[in-house]
Amino acid sequence: MKILHTSDWHLGQLFHEYDRTFEHQQFLNWLQAALVTEEIEVLLVSGDVFDISNPSAASIRMFYSFLQKATQDNPALQIVITAGNHDSASRLEAPKPLLESSNIHIIGTIEKNADGSINYEKLVVPLKNKSGEIQTFCLAIPFLRTGDYPTIAEAENPYTEGVAQLYRDAFEYASQHKHAHQTIIAMGHMHTQQAEISEMDTAERKIMGGVECVAANAFDENLKYVALGHIHKAQRIGGKEHIRYSGSPLPMSFSERNYKHQVIVFELEEEIKHLKMLEIPVSIPLLRVPLNPHPLEDVIAALHQLEDKNDTTPAPYLEVQVLLAEPEPGLRHKVETALLGKNVRLARIQPHYPNREKESSSHYSQELLNELQPTDVFSKSYQLKYSAEVPEHLMALFQQTVNEVGNVE
């Protein structure tokens, strides 16, 4: 049985306010072709199909068009999709009864039995080989929210221990229904311990903070493969070849400028073999000018050297890095003027200030803050960020604001 693992499509995502429909469609077209070329029998999508819980009609149409074309090109293809934290679990699995007739299984929610126990039958998807026989069972576990996983009495970490228990119980349920020659794989959408995160992943700190990091040993050692989603950088976890994040198909931040996005393909018999990564072609590249921060006049000169607009080369997303000694009110206007007629999409201007102190030094005790005047706080904050004294005209404007607020009170 040949399986392809992918995740974190984030259909409908905007990249610094730029629409990414073209990029997502290019990826889905490539994936559709790869499913045929690689003779894939099972497609696993481990969460975050959409970027927001209420996706646009265009994003929904793109998703279902892909499912229709993928199964049309390969009628025997089995697809298992789980919901991620960005997806609306109930919305994603709403068409489940209709899609299951096409061997498409979508699991978004954790259903409970009348006694409050978890309905593991819904979470275990049997996958058949070319002979029509069940070869493996897939624990299709979506992103787990509070109340989804078992409550462990006196648990030191209710989340991680509850999640681990759910995977143990699901594995036990599947084990009771499988024959000796059949195997079990799993899916998950979570943050695991030791996972290397990217710049974009840090934006999800509230979801995947330290107390919500699941250890690799939460997955039974007899699971043949664990297809993870949530972290946008492809990687294996805990030194295990069979526990992997596939990563996102598109770059999610400029920190991924030189990163190769991919999907994972492997064959499954009694063990996995021939595991490989398929690199996803980049449809719109990321460009950083200059590679390291330079003074504004040098940056403007570099921008003037960029390629002019044309109809043959896709305009890359551009990040401009500028070294500043103090705030530059006209910075964006100067950059945009230099880019007139250039074949780029200005995504971000990143200012850098020399000798900037570490963020930790900006922490003050409550007692000290109570003793400081507003102008003192403003002055210290400005000096911390720009390594310079507040200009007199800015201090005068700030003092005027303070006085006006005081008069209102």
Task: Write out pLDDT tens, residues 353-388.
Answer: 876 544 444 555 566 666 678 888 888 777 776 666
222 and 336 in a single domain? The answer is: no
**Amino acid code (one letter) for 20:** R
**Amino acid code (one letter) for 267:** E
pLDDT at 362: 52
326 and 203 in a single domain? The answer is: no
- Enumerate the H helices of 286-408 as residue ranges: 296-304, 331-338, 366-371, 374-386, 392-408
Task: Return d(Cα 319, Cα 291) in angstroms, integer.
Answer: 9
From 217, 251, 279, the end of a domain falls on 279
Task: Return d(Cα 401, Cα 37) in angstroms, integer.
Answer: 65
265 and 365 in a single domain? The answer is: no
Q: How confident is the model at residue 2 (pLDDT cuts 50, 70, 90)?
A: very high
Q: How confident is the model at residue 208 (pLDDT cuts 50, 70, 90)?
A: very low
**Overall average pLDDT of the 31-50 stretch:** 97
**Overall average pLDDT of the 109-124 stretch:** 95
What pLDDT digit, counting tens, does each position of 171-194 carry? 999 999 999 899 999 999 999 987
Instruction: Supply the CATH number for residue 156's domain.
Output: 3.60.21.10
Residue 207 predicted with pLDDT over 50: no
**Overall average pLDDT of the 61-88 stretch:** 96
pLDDT at 343: 96
Q: How many domains are there within the chain?
A: 3
What pLDDT digit, counting tens, does each position of 54-64 carry? 999 999 999 99
CB atoms under 10 Å from CB of 146, counted, come to: 9
Q: How confident is the model at residue 199 (pLDDT cuts 50, 70, 90)?
A: low
From 247, 279, 311, the end of a domain falls on 279
74 and 9 in a single domain? The answer is: yes
Residue 409 predicted with pLDDT over 60: no
Calculate the alpha carbon distances from 40 to 73, 79, 139, 265, 375 in Å: 11, 10, 19, 8, 65
273 and 301 in a single domain? The answer is: no
For residue 314, give its domain range: 286-352
Q: Long-range CB contacts (< 8 A, 24+ apart) of 305-311?
A: 306/339, 306/342, 306/343, 306/344, 307/342, 307/343, 308/341, 308/342, 308/343, 309/341, 309/342, 309/343, 310/343
What pLDDT digit, counting tens, does each position of 300-320 carry? 999 999 999 998 888 999 999
Q: How confident is the model at residue 212 (pLDDT cuts 50, 70, 90)?
A: confident
Which residue is it, tokens 């576990």?
141
Task: Return d(Cα 256, Cα 10) in angstroms, integer.
Answer: 16
292 and 235 in a single domain? The answer is: no
Q: Residue 118's closest CA among 65, 163, 71?
A: 163
Q: Give Dmax (Cα) for the chain.
A: 82
Residue 97 CA neighbour count, 13 Å, CB half: 1
Do 51 and 88 meet the contact criterion of CB atoms below 8 Å apart?
no
Task: Return d(Cα 275, Cα 254) in angstroms, integer.
Answer: 28
Angle at 2 between CA 33 and CA 274, to 5 degrees: 105
Calculate the alpha carbon distances from 382 to 84, 276, 297, 325, 394 in Å: 40, 51, 24, 12, 10
Residues contacting residue 359 through CB under 8 Å, at least 6 positions apart? none
Mean model confidence pLDDT for the chain? 89
